[in-house]
Amino acid sequence: MAFLADALSRVKPSATIAVSQKARELKAKGRDVISLGAGEPDFDTPDNVKAAAIDAINRGETKYTPVAGIPQLREAIAAKFKRENNLDYKPEQTIAATGGKQILFNALMATLNEGDEVVIPSPYWVSYPEMVALCGGKTVFAETRIEESFKLSGAALDAVITPKTKWLILNSPSNPSGAAYTEAELREIAAVLLKHPQVWILTDDIYEHLVYGEFTFKTIAEVEPKLYDRTLTMNGVSKAYSMTGWRIGYAAGPLQLIKAMDMIQGQQTSGACSIAQWAAVEALNGPQDFIQKNKTIFQGRRDLVVSMLNQAKGISCPTPQGAFYVYPSCAELIGKKTEAGKIIETDADFVSELLEAEGVAVVHGSAFGLGPNFRISYATSEALLEEACKRIQRFCASLR
């Protein structure tokens, strides 16, 4: 009898975590490595949020909390959705968890039966299909194209929906592509979903505040209120508030689903860290002006990286509307040889040889379900980004 569960055979390790680990190992050996694999802001958590956590500790807010979150946080979540997304949720329709990943897991575990299908546009965040597999579901990929800015069309969605489809996972702005859906594009997707009442929508809005230029963020239940009763709107404090390590994700949706997620979480981890919850209350309710300052910095970095990558031989890099990633194509370099004679057969070969030759760590696009591309996180200093892009230019120029 096998000791490990069969479910593990359906799951792959996280490629983004693996790249960061490889970069750390090379740095430990003395290599000069610029790691552009991690998906977290390099800004510090705002001082008022840190102060709120310290105050909570000093007040003795160190005991177990209700599974779905302290009342103050659930009220802050409901107020945020009303203020920023024109969505009316009661506090009991909200839930807080140990990061956005747990929200996703809770929702899928609470709803998926063997054979249920989940539509995921590709490229996708690496954890989505693995979560579906662990929860017994089947992922159906809806491929997007670089020519369409990596965005799912209504026709492409309609083509993959079957009677077994239970969820669509929609991530806007997207990890890894930075693609963000306009109101018109969301209406097109919503029109298809209205024809298929069995399909629920899990919208991952974690990069909501990181959109650039004149782009206006919208979430799908806001655009099409008829989908409100079958949409789980997920968000968190990790990206916009530079609170990745605090591990607070949250969501709001129909009461029946929230209660089911609460029950699963109650048998799994119980409530999220009490101190982190109080910090999240301050993040959501407190001053928001720093978000615009950070966005301005991110936009400058985006523009630098896009410009320099498009000057690299054989690289084509579209300009994303949001998040802090670019997702350039290296299709023209497939089949080329390195100076050592290694043939670049895949995007995985490209990123491996780039790391070996120039000490730049990026993530291969096939890990996100669409290649030959690679993902760069520009959540680091302009000086490091400029140096990394120079190295990428040099590596690409060396290929024959």
**pLDDT tens track for 357-396:** 999 999 999 999 999 999 999 999 999 999 999 999 999 9
In a 3-state reduction of DSSP, which class is residue 116?
coil
Is residue 50 one of the residues assigned to a domain? Answer: no
Q: What are the strands, taking DSSP E only, across the chain?
A: 34-35, 94-97, 117-122, 138-143, 165-171, 200-204, 231-236, 249-252, 325-326, 360-361, 363-364, 374-377
What is residue 288's predicted lDDT score, i.e. its pLDDT? 97
Nearest-5° Cα angle at 271, 269 to 274: 125
Mean pLDDT of 68-96: 98
Model confidence, pTM: 0.95
What is residue 71's predicted lDDT score, i.e. its pLDDT? 98
| Residue at which a domain ends, from 285, 319, 344 | 285
**pLDDT tens track for 117-153:** 999 999 999 999 999 999 999 999 999 999 999 999 9
Q: Of 13-17, 105-109, 287-291, give the lowest mean pLDDT range.
A: 13-17
What is residue 6's predicted lDDT score, i.e. its pLDDT? 85
Residue 340's CATH number:
3.90.1150.10
Residue length, the chain? 400
Residues 265 and 346 in one domain: no
Give yes or no for a contact between 191 and 228, defined as CB atoms under 8 angstroms apart.
no
| Residue at which a domain ends, from 256, 285, 314 | 285
What is residue 18's predicted lDDT score, i.e. its pLDDT? 76
Is residue 49 one of the residues assigned to a domain? Answer: no
Residue 209's CATH number:
3.40.640.10
Mean pLDDT of 292-316: 98
The answer on pLDDT for 209 being more than 80 is: yes
The answer on pLDDT for 15 being more than 80 is: no
The answer on pLDDT for 331 being more than 80 is: yes
**pLDDT tens track for 223-249:** 999 999 999 999 999 999 999 999 999
**pLDDT tens track for 87-100:** 999 999 999 999 99
Give yes or no for a contact between 196 and 226, defined as CB atoms under 8 angstroms apart.
no
What is residue 163's predicted lDDT score, i.e. its pLDDT? 98
How does residue 9 score in pLDDT terms, banded at 50, 70 and 90?
Answer: confident
Is residue 58 one of the residues assigned to a domain? Answer: no
What is residue 10's predicted lDDT score, i.e. its pLDDT? 83
Question: Can you tell me the distance from the alpha carbon of 94 to that of 77, in angstroms, rounded to the nearest whole number?
Answer: 7
Is residue 80 one of the residues assigned to a domain? Answer: yes
Give yes or no for a contact between 41 and 324, defined as CB atoms under 8 angstroms apart.
yes
The answer on pLDDT for 23 being more than 90 is: no
The answer on pLDDT for 12 being more than 90 is: no
Residues 336 and 229 in one domain: no
Residues 348 and 277 in one domain: no
What is residue 26's predicted lDDT score, i.e. its pLDDT? 84
What is residue 391's predicted lDDT score, i.e. its pLDDT? 98
Is residue 271 one of the residues assigned to a domain? Answer: yes
Question: Can you tell me the distance from the alpha carbon of 211 to that of 73, in angstroms, rounded to the nearest whole number?
Answer: 25
Residues 281 and 305 in one domain: no
Contacts of 276 (CB under 8 A, 6+ apart): 53, 243, 246, 247, 248
| Single-letter amino acid, residue 166 | K
Residue-range definition of the domain harbouring residue 313: 6-44+290-398
What is residue 21's predicted lDDT score, i.e. its pLDDT? 81
Helix (H), strand (E) at residue 385: helix 382-398
CA atoms within 13 A on the CB side of 209: 22
What is residue 298's predicted lDDT score, i.e. its pLDDT? 98
Residues 257 and 277 in one domain: yes
